[in-house]
Structure 1
Amino acid sequence: MNQSASGFLLIGLFSLLCACTLFESSAEKVSQQQLLERMAAQEEMLILDVRTPGEYSEGYIGNAINIDHREIEERLAEITAFKNKPVIVYCYSGMRAGMVEAKLIEHGFTQVQHLDGDWSAWQDAGLASTKPK
């Protein structure tokens, strides 16, 4: 690889890293183990899967509800009962969840949390998932 191509590759990687950090929110991280414990204790919380309906149909965590990240603003009324309760958000790898978390916080949700590792880590760990009927 010549020096020019290496430079473009580094600039591209740097841009990608910067773009990902733009979508990080101030949401607290929740580990897989913590979420499993909270689910077992039947804690009142909302598990919010912000992947596409197609991704969701392939499997999701526990009793997560699906609101596509692109529709969150239009569908906030569906989840306002959780405005002051824990809302654990995940997507496939974190970027879409970060965007939604920022929106939820902007709209006054007070206990927005992020599932550390998102769906990809959940699957990699071989943890239980549900499929729609």
Structure 2
Amino acid sequence: MLSSRRFFEAFLIKIMLVSSLCVSAVVSANVQAVKATELLINQMSDTPYTIIDVRTVEEYADGHIKGAINIPYDQIEAQSFLLNELKDQTLVVYCRSGRRAQIFESALFKRGFKLFHLEGDILGWKSQGLPLVK
């Protein structure tokens, strides 16, 4: 009886994990990627996107994309007033490698925000030799 209970618990954990991954994939599929070069071109247009850097304050201070607003991914609720002001804008989100940006995007997608994800995040931006400001 004990081993069948453990089997059942393990089975439930696997089901929850797969379900979680599926929800994450659906959110990612709904948030389109934007290439760094496309973002640069957009920033020179009459309707530039709002860029959101979801890294820590320290990471942001070490170098970020010009014009990016720093809203760390774990401060969504604390920054809800600012985010509500940005709701009608298209946001481009990035972090270091993508994990934190995906968490942020998932939360904002559920709230109806228009989002893009910077392809390659800040590591991709740096690898292309694109400028950062401090």
TM-score by length of 2: 0.76
Could you tell me whether the CA contact under 8 Å between 1:50 and 1:91 is conserved in 2?
yes
AA at the equivalent of 2:128? A
AA at the equivalent of 2:129? G
Report the equivalent of 2:117. 114
Task: Give distance in 1, aligned partners of 2:129 and 2:40.
Answer: 13
Report the equivalent of 2:74. 70
- SS of residue matched to 1:92: coil
Of 96, 120, 127, 1:124 maps to 127
Q: How far did residue 42 of structure 1 move?
A: 4.7
Aligned length: 113
Larger Rg: 2
AA at the equivalent of 1:94? G
Q: RMSD in angstroms over aligned alpha carbons?
A: 2.1
Q: How far did residue 73 of structure 1 move?
A: 2.3
Report the equivalent of 1:36. 40
Task: Give distance in 2, aligned partners of 1:68 and 1:33.
Answer: 24
Between the two proteins, what is the percent identity of the paired residues? Answer: 35
AA at the equivalent of 2:117? H
- SS of residue matched to 1:119: helix
Could you list the per-position Cα deviations for residues 46-86 of structure 1 after superposition, in whole angstroms to 9, with x for gaps in the alignment? Answer: 10000001100100001001011110122121122221221
Task: Give distance in 1, aligned partners of 2:73 and 2:110.
Answer: 15
Task: Give distance in 2, aligned partners of 1:42 and 1:97.
Answer: 26
Report the equivalent of 1:89. 93
Report the equivalent of 1:51. 55
Unaligned stretches of 5+ residues in structure 2: 1-16
Unaligned stretches of 5+ residues in structure 1: 1-14
Distance 1:43-1:114 versus aligned 2 partners, 3 A rule: same
TM-score by length of 1: 0.77
- SS of residue matched to 1:113: strand
Task: Give distance in 1, aligned partners of 2:132 and 2:44.
Answer: 14
